[in-house]
Chain A
Amino acid sequence: MKLNFEHLQSAHCENGVTRSLLKNIGIAQITEPLAFGIGSGLFYIYIPLLKINNGPVIAFRPMPGLIFKRTCKALGIPVVRKKFNSKQDAEFFLNECLAAGHAAGCQVGVYYLTYFPKEYRFHFNAHNLIVYGKEDDYYLISDPVMENSTVLSSYELERVRFAKGHLAPKGQMYYPKKGSAVTDEQIKKAIIAGIKKNVQDMLMIPMPVAGVKGIKYTGNKIKKWRDKLGLKQAGLYLAQLVRMQEEIGTGGGGFRYIYAAFLQESYAYHQIDDLMEISKKFTESGDLWRTAAVQAAGIYKGRIGSEEDFNVMGDYLLEIAEIERNAFIALKNIKWR
Chain B
Amino acid sequence: MLAKERVVQRSVDGVSKYTSGISANALAAYSPDLRFAGSPSLRFAKRGSKKIFGSMKKEEVPQDLSALGKITKEVCYATDNSGKYVTELSKGWEIKITALDAAWQEVDGRIAAAKQKVLNNEASPLLFFMEKGLMDISILAGYTGFWKWQVKMHLKPDVFKNLSEKKLQRYAEVFNVSIDDLKNRSVHEA
- Residues of B near A54 (CB, < 8 A) are 106, 110, 136
Closest residue of chain A to B4 (Cβ to Cβ) is A287
By a CB distance below 8 angstroms, the chain A residues around B89 are 147
Find chain B residues with CB under 8 A from A243 CB.
Answer: 96, 99-100, 103
1/0 per position for A107-150, CB-CB distance to B under 8 A?
00001000111111011000000000000000000000111100
**Does B55 count as interface, using CB distance less than 8 angstroms?**
yes
Number of residues of chain B lying within 8 A (CB) of chain A: 53
Report the Cα distance A301→B100, complex, angstroms.
11
Binding site for A on B (CB under 8 A): 2-4, 21-23, 25-27, 29-32, 53-56, 61, 67-68, 70-79, 84-85, 87, 89, 93-96, 98-100, 102-104, 106, 110, 134-136, 138-139, 142-143
> Would A119 and B54 be within 8 Å (CB), given that A297-B30, A303-B32 are in contact?
no
Shortest Cβ distance from A14 into chain B, in angstroms?
Answer: 14
Complex alpha-carbon distance, A253 and B95, angstroms: 12
| Inter-chain contact B21/A287, CB cutoff 8 Å | yes
Interface centre among A11, A53, A286, A294 (most CB of B within 10 A): A294
Question: Quick check: A123 and B139 within 8 Å, CB to CB?
Answer: yes
User: Contact: A284 with B142, CB < 8 Å?
Assistant: no
Whether the Cβ atoms of B29 and A309 lie closer than 8 Å is yes
Tell me if A300 counts as interface (CB < 8 A to partner B). Answer: yes
Which single member of A11, A53, A288 contacts B77 (CB below 8 Å)?
A11
A58 → B minimal CB distance (Å): 13
Asked if B134 contacts A119 (CB within 8 A), the reply is no
CA distance A312 to B22 in the complex (A): 14
> Is the CB–CB distance between B67 and A117 below 8 Å?
yes
Q: Give the CA-CA distance A290 to B186 in the complex, in Å.
A: 42
Interface assignment of A40: CB less than 8 Å from any CB of chain B: no
Chain A residues lying within 8 Å of B72, measured Cβ to Cβ, are: 145-148
For B85, the chain A residues whose CB sits under 8 A away are 33, 257, 260-261, 264-265
Measured CA separation A313–B78 after assembly (Å): 24
Q: Does A21 contact B (CB under 8 A)?
A: no
Contact of B134 among A111, A166, A168, A286 (CB under 8 A): A111
Residue contact A119 to B104, C-beta cutoff 8 Å = yes
Contact of A290 among B2, B21, B99, B103 (CB under 8 A): B21
Inter-chain pairs besides A247-B96, A298-B30, 15 sampled, C-beta below 8 Å = A11-B76, A11-B87, A54-B136, A55-B103, A147-B73, A147-B89, A164-B139, A165-B138, A248-B68, A252-B61, A252-B76, A253-B56, A295-B25, A298-B31, A312-B29
> Within the complex, which residue of A11, A118, A295 is in contact with B26, where a contact is CB–CB below 8 Å?
A295
Q: Is the CB of B55 within 8 A of A248?
A: no
- B71 and A252 form a contact (CB under 8 A): no
27 A-B pairs with C-beta separation under 8 A: A54-B110, A117-B68, A123-B139, A145-B75, A146-B71, A147-B73, A164-B143, A236-B102, A239-B98, A239-B100, A243-B96, A243-B100, A247-B100, A249-B74, A252-B54, A252-B56, A290-B55, A290-B95, A292-B26, A293-B95, A294-B27, A294-B30, A297-B94, A298-B29, A298-B31, A301-B98, A312-B29
